[in-house]
Structure 1
Amino acid sequence: MGLLEQLNQDMKQAMKQKDKEKLSVIRMVKSSLQNESIKLGKDSISEDEELTILSRELKQRKDSLQEFKSAGREDLVKKLEVEINILQEYMPKQLTEEELEVIVQSTIREVNATSKKDMGKVMSAVMPKVKGKADGSRINKLVQQHLD
């Protein structure tokens, strides 16, 4: 089942259960997906493009969450945490630290990286491999640990 079909089913379920938060998030994601397909001039978008949109939405909320926490806006923090949890239901299973470690080490060997100067090369090679399955900041920390 594609993401759009899943969202439609979950939207119907959220309407029946009167789950306003979930309904709001689902509508927002559907809107983002439709806007992207219009922007690309396509009737439908690929799974990879869907994942990119979901990742972008999740990252925006995580960034906002940090801002609201530092500003002491607990009301908005709670709302965003609920939205993040709902969005994560649609993301692929996240990689464990061990799985990420293996991917990072093998990529460092693939691109023959030896120092922190090669960080960009490594990051650009790792990110497509873990798209949607790991946060960029986690990967960045691991790459930095392995490059001296």
Structure 2
Amino acid sequence: MSKFEDLQKAMVAAMKARDKARKDAVSSIISDVKKVAIDSGCRDNIGDDLVNQVIMKSLKTVKEQIDTCPDDRAELKAEYQFRYDVIKEYAPAMMSEDEIRTMLTEKFSEVIATKNKGAIMKEIMPALKGKADGKVINAIVAELCK
């Protein structure tokens, strides 16, 4: 079963449970996925990579909403936090620091040997996009380039 189908089933379950907030959060992900799928021309065949990409973008957007929400708007902040928690349930697991370091030293040892941070990032980012936190990758690459 695809990740998109999982989201659709989760939305139906939330509707049956009369959990409006959860249904709205999952529904917004589904809507965003459909938009991106139509834009990329794969509306009939929505892959897990596309779903993960949209989920990560949604997660980032909601995190920014939480971070920029004024403290005196506690109700709104709680709503954003709930949405973040629901989206996080469907987000792909990120690689740990050790997993990233191992992958870089095993698969990208030649480019790392150049100590050219720009070339390294250009080479590794496509392989790690959506699988690892960019800040962690950047820190590890900086450490390896010393």
- TM-score category, normalised to shorter length: 0.7 to 0.9
Deviation readout 1:93-136 (Å, 9 max, x if unpaired): 22222112212334552314544xx3333233333333333221
Q: 1:75 and 1:26, CA in 2 relative to 1: closer, same or farther beyond 3 A?
A: same
* Equivalent position of 1:142 in the other structure: 140
Q: Tell me, yes or no, if structure 1 residue 37 matches structure 2 residue 37.
A: yes
Q: CA deviation at 1:144?
A: 1.9
Distance in 2 between residues matched to 1:114 and 1:75, nearest whole Å? 51
Q: Which residue of structure 2 aligns with residue 98 of structure 1?
A: 98
The answer to whether residue 12 in structure 2 is matched with residue 8 in structure 1 is no
CA RMSD, 1 decimal = 2.2
More displaced stretch, 59-68 vs 123-132 = 123-132
When structure 1 is superposed on structure 2, of 52-61 and 118-127 the one drifting more is 118-127
Flag the 1:80–1:137 CA change in 2: closer, same or farther, 3 A: farther
Report if the CA contact (8 A) 2:63-2:84 is conserved.
yes
Aligned length: 144
Q: Percent identity?
A: 29
**Runs (5+) with no aligned partner, structure 1:** none
Q: CA separation in 2, counterparts of 1:77 and 1:142?
A: 33
Contact in 1 for aligned 2:22/2:83 (Cα 8 Å)? yes
Q: Where do 1:75-114 residues align within 5 Å?
A: 75-106=75-106, 109-114=109-114
Aligned-partner Cα distance in 1 for 2:119–2:78: 38
TM-score (norm: length of structure 1):
0.81
- Cα distance in 2 for partners of 1:85, 1:37 equals 24
Deviation at 1:65, TM superposition (A): 2.4
Contact 1:111 1:121 in 2 (8 A): yes
Alpha-carbon spacing, 1:112–1:137, altered in 2? closer, same or farther (3 Å)? closer
Q: Structure 1 residues 3 and 75, CA, compared in 2 at 3 Å: closer, same or farther?
A: same
- Structure 1 runs of 4+ aligned residues shifted over 4 Å read none
TM-score of the aligned structures, taking structure 2 as reference length:
0.82
